[in-house]
Amino acid sequence: MKILKGFEQGFKRIIGYLKDVRLEMRKVSWPTKRETFRYTLIVIFVSLIVAIFLGALDFIFITLLNRFVL
């Protein structure tokens, strides 16, 4: 009987949690499709800039190392 009560309490807690999640999701301010597209382009652009910067640093350091070590 205790197992059944524990299962019932656990099930009620899960249901309560899902109800709370649903309420919180209603409060979320979701971006529009246009905003999402814009933010995605910004992330891609910044990622490319960082990749180019790091690639340039890597090239410079490899070149310097090859000149001094080899």
Q: In terms of domains, do 8 and 39 share one?
A: no
| pLDDT reading at 36 higher than 70 | yes
pLDDT tens for 5-30 read 777 888 889 999 999 999 999 999 99
Q: In terms of domains, do 13 and 47 share one?
A: no
Structural domain boundaries enclosing 15: 1-29
Q: In terms of domains, do 43 and 23 share one?
A: no
Cα separation of 31 and 44, whole Å?
A: 18
Cα separation of 69 and 62, whole Å?
A: 10
CA distances from 65 to 31, 52, 60, 69 (A): 47, 20, 9, 6
Q: In terms of domains, do 50 and 68 share one?
A: yes
Q: In terms of domains, do 8 and 22 share one?
A: yes
Q: In terms of domains, do 56 and 41 share one?
A: yes
